[in-house]
Amino acid sequence: MANVRLIARLDIKGPNLIKGVHLEGLRVVGDPQEYARRYYEQGIDELIYIDIVASLYGRSKLTEIVRRAAHDVFVPMTVGGGVRNVDDVRDLLRAGADKVAINTAAVRRPELVTEVSRRFGSQCMMLSIEAKQQAPGRWEVFTDCGRERSGVDAVEWARRGVALGAGEILVTSIDREGTRKGFDLALTRAIASAVTVPVIASGGYGEPQDLTDVVLEGTANAVAFADALHYQRTTLAELRAHARSAGIPVRSV
């Protein structure tokens, strides 16, 4: 097994780091720059920035926040929210991003996935899937920060996204996001078994066993953490120690 990546997810609204439950009820946490620097110093493997209202309001991208972070943080950064075309991707990469995560615009125009992967490489094109369970073994893709139904099956969309050129998939369970009740293992496993690219599990971490479960049972290649790190309910050192105790390989820092 390759090293499992531990990733900090930073949801952004305007200039602020925020956190919600089920992608709603947003609370301001603080300055994203301070948190990004802290996680970098603690040995985070990657950062994911998501502007969670960009698709709703057509706001500008996270270019300035990424540019600031790139001066202090030297781990891969993925940026999502409001990315609509290859020009948006180019601007974010020039600002210091390594990858872009696209959800709403890709669902509305799937060819965008191919355009981005052909222009910048599939390793740059992360397909972001926000999914909500509709029936046992069936999840639907939601867009606009979990607000709008798409009618698209999440597993089928993951499979199609990879065929179009996505090099990685970020899977966020809307049902579990912010609840601290554990990841949606069935969702993660269903998507991971349907594709040949790395899958990042997001939404639901509550205790160390959740990390073990989503890797060993959900077969995730990477795990994203938000409020557990933001509110210092755990540390990266504790997460790494727990992973190693369960036989899960992680990067040494």
d(CA 87, CA 8): 26
Residue 61 pLDDT: 59
d(CA 209, CA 239): 10
pLDDT, averaged across the chain: 93
* SS3 label, residue 53: coil
Strand partners, 169: 127, 199
Residue 206 pLDDT: 96
The string of pLDDT tens digits covering residues 120-130 is 999 999 999 99
d(CA 229, CA 28): 14
Residue 55 has pLDDT above 60, yes or no: no
The string of pLDDT tens digits covering residues 122-161 is 999 999 999 999 999 999 999 987 889 999 999 999 999 9
* CB 81, CB 44: distance < 8 Å: no
Token duo for residue 84: 């609509």
* CATH topology classification for 5-245: TIM Barrel (3.20.20)
What is the domain partition of the chain in residue ranges?
Answer: 5-245
d(CA 92, CA 23): 24
Of 27-31, 119-123, 180-184, the least confident: 27-31
The string of pLDDT tens digits covering residues 162-177 is 999 999 999 999 999 9
Which of 118, 130, 123, 116 is closest to 224 using CA atoms? 130
Token duo for residue 66: 């990424």
- Residues annotated as catalytic (active site), given as ranges: 11, 130
Mean pLDDT over 227-232 rounds to: 94
pTM above 0.75, yes or no: yes
> What is the tally of helices (H) and strands (E) in the chain?
11, 12
